[in-house]
Each structure stands twice: as structure tokens, then as C-alpha cells.
Amino acid sequence: MVEAAFLLCSYELSIRSLNSPWCFLFTEEDARVLEYKSDLKQFWKRFHGHVISGVSSCPLFHHVFRTLDKAGRPRRATDAPPALTASVLLGHAETLLPLLSLLGLYRDPHPPTADNYQQQHGRTFRSGLIVPYAANLLFVLFDCQRGPRLQLLLNEKPVRFPGLPTTTRRCTGTSAPRTAPCWMAATLHASVRAGGAVRPTQSSDWTGGGDI
């Protein structure tokens, strides 16, 4: 009943922008605890909690990699524009979280558990912020004078690839793109956000998609 009331509060707040009467049942600390409960579920079921979660996204990652390679190959040989300008894949949070795990993103020094809540206030893994409504992951390939450059964006915000040095050069100044971004490799739309907590959908398979 407590979780149901919290979801009613968060849904009405996030979808209808209403200060629901259900919200008056909770303090800010209550909301943080319930958010942490949701994060625990997502972390151990679909994220870094188990290696198999990331491994399950290997076929999807291979598809993204092959699409990137296909789009960049003509530019390496000629000045002709790429035949593929965008590849769009649609899915759910259950699709996006394992892929982010495979990429090594949002890996905290200590995993969240049921008994270290007090030490997790500064954690980077916040499922309600990582996979909100209409969450998306974009791989953008730029055609630069010094060669192709790849940019990763999560929810339209740049994200650094794990393991890369902080001095990685960008496609700016003398290395500015000769054209606009060549293409957008993948956009994965995830499920819902409820007041900082994610309520997952049932499907765990990525569906749909196509090339433009």
C-alpha cells in the first residue's frame, strides 16, 4: 500500500504536474528511501549487479557498432555523403539499462545494498534520472578533418565514454566538422519516470527500429 500511494503521488506529479494529495503522506526522506528501493531493484536486476545484465546487450551493441562502421566507411574512402543518415531503435528501460551497464556507465565505487543506504546519497546510479520518460541514447558520428569522431549522449546530454582521458579532443576549431553530424546511430526510447523512481514495463526486448 505504501508503494502504491507513492506511485500515485509520483505519477500525478510527473504526468499531470499536480501536487497530489497522496504526496502529503510522505516526507522528503520517505521519497528518498522509496527511490532507493527502486534503484536497488533496477541495479541488481538490470544493471551492474550481475555481469549477465550487460552481456545480454551484446547483440544490440554489435548492431550499433556495425551500423557505425557502415556509416563511416564511405567517408573514409570518398567524399560522397553516407547512404545511411540515421538508424533508430525503439525499446524500454529494460533495454537501455543493460546497454548502459555494458558500456560501463554510472559505476559507483560501492554497489547499493539493503544495508548501506546512508553511504549511497552521492551515488551516480539514479534510475529515475537515467531512464526517465522518453529516455534516449544517441551515438553521433562526426566527419572531422582529423578523422571521424564519435559522441555519446544520454537524454540529449553529452556523456564521456568510460576509460577515455579527460584531454580527448573534440571536433572543434581547426577540427570542426566539414558537414553537420553525419548521422545519429541509435535512439532507444525507454519507459517511465515516477518521481525519481522508475516503474518498469513488462517487456525486456528491444522492438521496432529502422534506418533512415
pTM: 0.74
Residue-wise pLDDT for 45-103, tens only, equals 999 999 999 999 999 999 998 888 887 776 555 566 666 678 888 888 889 999 999 99
Per-residue pLDDT, averaged over 200-204, amounts to 31
Q: What's the number of CA atoms in the CB half-sphere (13 Å) around residue 101? A: 25
Q: Is the pLDDT of residue 129 over 90?
A: yes
Which residues does 185 contact at the CB level (< 8 Å), separation at least 6? 64, 67, 68, 71, 86, 87, 138, 139, 140, 141
170/193 Cα distance (integer angstroms): 32
The b/e string for 132-163 (b: 16+ C-beta within 10 A; e otherwise) is beebbbbbbbbbbeeebbebbebbeeebeeee
Domain definitions of the chain by residue range: 2-211
Residue-wise pLDDT for 91-101, tens only, equals 888 899 999 99
Residue-wise pLDDT for 151-167, tens only, equals 999 999 999 988 777 65
